[in-house]
Amino acid sequence: MDQNVSELQFSLSLPNREESVAVGGCSIAEAASHAGLLPREVTSLRLAVEEALHNSVHHAYSPKEHGIIKIEAYQTPRGVRVDITDQGIPFKPIDEWADHHVHGWSRMMELADAVTYHNLGRKGKSIEIHKYRRSEALDPQESEGKPAATASHSEEEIEIRLTKPEDISQICQSIYRTYGYSYDHDVIYYPEQFQEMIEAGLVISAVAVTPQGKVVGHAGLSLDTKESIIANMGMSVVDPAYRATGIGGKLGYVLTKTARAKGLQGLFSMAVTAHTFSQKAIHKGNFHDCGLILGFTPAFTSFRGIREKLVQRESLVLAYKPLEQGETLPIYAPPAHKEMIESLLEPVMEVRDFRTPDGSEEIPEATDFSVEVSTERGQGVLNFVTLGQDAEAVLFERLKHLKLQKVDIIVLKADLHSPHLPKLVEVAESLGFFFSGVLPKWRREGALLMTYLNNIEIDGSKLNFDSEVGQKLLTYINECRKKTELSLPQL
């Protein structure tokens, strides 16, 4: 299991007895406090861990069976991760869960920032719980009251380099001045966490600096884990007085060069459709459109405490830039979408091996998945890293719980190289999901993207595109949505 560049704080083995719930909860609370979590964050993590321990104590082993529950706490760049492992009865497919299991899982999801379960075969099973720090946030007052520069500047005055520790506060303040608190990656508002992410190798950050040491531009790459082979290029900001000096392109060049040196095989970026400026910038950097996520961000932008209402939730173009071909894996494209998938992959993947499952392929019993939820932003993401025989049941249950949480948009990322993918897509479409694109090399293999809109509408005529591919994607997605709506049961 990936440790996400984490530092082990403690490991504790407890008997499967009721008193172990309180012992484990108290131990985690102490570790979380030591890691800098706020009191309310400590309480939420403790309750989530106690819920998981309660499930292990009462349901992992038979009443008279003696077993061990192992707890490991890790300090991560963003907070704390807790692994709870036992060798009791394996997880059942989600559609066979009793009500108490469903309730317990939902409660853990509400209390934690991310929860994942893993079937480990002979090693048992594990639940992974993450809680992020929200302390030591950027003070907006430090960013205000400073007049913006108005003079013109030539690019020769500016140094483009990787970020140093003394740049961090200025970067966070620049993001705040540009985006307010609406930027999607909230770690950028916590200077200490941002520095820790850089040191852990989960963020690669570059700045444009004047001879006086003022940061006038920034862009960064963020990785899911230290083992990721692709990174998300974003966190881009340029001081208005320096926007005609080519800073953005130079930052992109430095980051791309660094990514190649670190062995990354590709970069991806997300661009808004309210205008085409950001799309033009990534296309200029040789990114190719490969997806369109309708309504992914909320229908407002926040700027220094003022909210400007948009006409609808913001839709994002996903674009990919290949750095290296890497290993060629078989692609099991759903027949209905094979032509579109091939057209999206052609510019970014030199060798493509499309196959049709024949039933002889080995499918794991359990799906390896994780769920990311932001109720504040109305977003849910289902990461189906490995598709198991229970993938359809897992999808059904996760969709049900996210809808109950009133999440507006749900994105499904499913392993593009699994022979079980065509069957999962068929079921997903029957539930209301529709095709949204592909993301090469995601979690080392690649993902098919699908979207579910939970009682919201997106008017495609209000979206703006810089490329023909973007417009083609919108047309194709609209056709998919119509087919999905026609196939859904009428209430």
Q: Is residue 202 part of a domain?
A: yes
pLDDT at 444: 82
pLDDT at 3: 41
**Arithmetic mean of pLDDT, 358-386:** 90
Residue 150 — very low, low, confident or very high, per pLDDT cuts 50/70/90? very low
Q: Is residue 409 part of a domain?
A: yes
Do 198 and 342 belong together in one domain?
no
Last residue of a domain, one of 110, 132, 154: 132
- The CATH number assigned to the domain holding 36 equals 3.30.565.10
pLDDT at 491 over 60: no
Alpha-carbon gap, residue 53 to 71, rounded angstroms: 9
**Arithmetic mean of pLDDT, 200-216:** 93
Do 165 and 112 belong together in one domain?
no
pLDDT at 409: 96
Q: Is residue 369 part of a domain?
A: yes
pLDDT at 480: 94
Residue 487 — very low, low, confident or very high, per pLDDT cuts 50/70/90? low
- The CATH number assigned to the domain holding 418 equals 3.40.630.30
Do 14 and 123 belong together in one domain?
yes
Task: Kindly report the pTM of this predicted structure.
Answer: 0.75
Last residue of a domain, one of 262, 295, 322: 322
3-state SS record for 229-270: CEEEEEEEEECHHHCCCCHHHHHHHHHHHHHHHCCCCEEEEE
More reliable by pLDDT, 6 or 395: 395
In percent, the amount of the chain with pLDDT more than 70 equals 87
In percent, the amount of the chain with pLDDT more than 90 equals 51
Q: Using one digit for the tens of pLDDT, what is the confidence trace for 74-86?
A: 988 778 999 999 9
Last residue of a domain, one of 267, 289, 322: 322
Q: How many CB atoms lie within 10 A of CB 33?
A: 16
pLDDT at 143: 42
Q: Residue 243: CB partners within 8 Å, gap ≥ 6?
A: none
Q: Using one digit for the tens of pLDDT, what is the confidence trace for 227-252?
A: 899 999 998 888 877 877 789 889 99
Alpha-carbon gap, residue 172 to 287, rounded angstroms: 26
pLDDT at 441 over 90: yes
User: At residue 388, what are phi and psi to the nearest 5 degrees?
Assistant: -105, 180
**Arithmetic mean of pLDDT, 328-344:** 95
pLDDT at 381 over 90: yes
- Domain of residue 29 covers 7-132
Residue 308 — very low, low, confident or very high, per pLDDT cuts 50/70/90? very low
The per-residue pLDDT of the chain, averaged, comes to 85
Do 400 and 466 belong together in one domain?
yes
Strand partners, 207: 161, 218
Report the C-alpha dihedral over residues 423, 424, 428, 431, rounded to 10 degrees.
Answer: 70
pLDDT at 488: 58
Do 226 and 246 belong together in one domain?
yes
Q: Is residue 1 part of a domain?
A: no
Rounded (5°) CA angle 188-414-480: 105
Residue 490 per-residue DSSP state: P
Q: Using one digit for the tens of pLDDT, what is the confidence trace for 41-74?
A: 888 899 999 999 988 888 888 777 888 999 999 9
Residue 448 — very low, low, confident or very high, per pLDDT cuts 50/70/90? very high
Number of domains comprising the chain: 3
Residue 4 — very low, low, confident or very high, per pLDDT cuts 50/70/90? very low
pLDDT at 19 over 80: yes
Residue 115 — very low, low, confident or very high, per pLDDT cuts 50/70/90? confident
pLDDT at 151 over 80: no
**Arithmetic mean of pLDDT, 431-449:** 94
pLDDT at 145: 39
Alpha-carbon gap, residue 234 to 244, rounded angstroms: 19
pLDDT at 156 over 60: no
Alpha-carbon gap, residue 458 to 297, rounded angstroms: 12
Q: Using one digit for the tens of pLDDT, what is the confidence trace for 281-299?
A: 899 999 999 999 999 988 7
